[in-house]
Structure 1
Amino acid sequence: MSFYPELDGLNLVELIECFQHSYLENEESSVYYDEAAMLIRQQGEAGIAFLFGQIEKANSVQLKGILLALTFPPPVENPLLRSLLLTYLRDDRPLIIAEAIDGLRMLGAKDTVDIVLPLHIHPDPYVRGSVLRFMSRLYPNSSQPLLIEALQDPDYIVRENAIDELDDLGAVEAVANIRPLLTDSHPHVRQAAETAIQNLA
């Protein structure tokens, strides 16, 4: 069951019609397109071919959904996918850059670290957060200093990401760094800190 039950049980033609329907480019529509793209991918080769064919035509939230669907484990086996994601690292839309970094993480593309890591100082918090996830999952033994530094990020999204990744790594030694965030200004960060300390203590 998806977040949008009206999409469940639709065939490929019906899903394509829903995907091509025009929506505002906002957070809610992003979830809709993510769901629709994932369901289209599940339709097999015809669905995957449709998604690749839409890349040049898609708006930002549609493209985000396409990249998510193509790289969601197990990623689609297509030699163009990696180069496509690398191209989108130079995009001017933070939403797309972040999704491309997440896609490279899903591909296990460790050798792209020299291109991805400099984006940890990108002005957009979603991009910075995606770099933290990339480093944590692909370089778990060397990512902790970056994650601990990110606990001081001015944006709550990045602080929350950093806590979650340290928690997932089982970084007991980071508890002292996480503890001050129990009184963070944002409730999501406070909750993440509380959960992490419970798990790591």
Structure 2
Amino acid sequence: MRRGYHAGMSEFIIGVTGGVASGKSEVTRRFEALGIVVADADLAAREAVAPGSEGLAEVVAQFGPDVLAADGGLDRAAMRRHVFGNDAERRSLEAIIHPRVRAALRDICVAAPGAYAIAAIPLLAEGGGRDAYPWLSRILVVDVPADVQRARVMARDRVDATLAQQMVAAQATRDQRLAIADDIVVNTGAIDELDAQVAALDRRYRALAASH
């Protein structure tokens, strides 16, 4: 039996990912409405370097005390300046944060009540995919064409086309995400069209989890 696993907990775990402005949060909200626990990688990353955490202490040891804000928390703007354009520094930061994020997501999912659980991981393709998350049972990609992403980013963040393109280009390509997908939600239509897609996936995942 896997360490930390007890009967009645979720060993069937779905990784949900997608590019910027693809509608990942709209999809995960619908799973939550169906009673599914969603563990959020962005939240786990913030908690990994929360004030007083071992993760924050490691960051300070690695990068120096100037990355601390006056309140003792991480000064994210200062941290961004440290790693911007510096791959070695960025990898050092990721080596501190990413293992903690992966462990936190898995702990939340395994402890979740219900037939299955979801780990929402925006940068799943960029962060190593299946190799980095071998405990994912399936990967669900929320998919939209790049031109739709750009238009949504411009509308959502009130940025120009050049910056929107840079934000899309900074992530994995659409093909790279689709290459790791077991399941795909196409989110090019109206938001309420997601309801039927998510309901169908929920039925499928419950059946798969029961036979897992």
Specify if TM > 0.5: no
Q: Which structure is higher in RCO with an 8 Å CA cutoff and minimum separation 6? A: 2
More helix by share: 1
TM-score (norm 1): 0.28
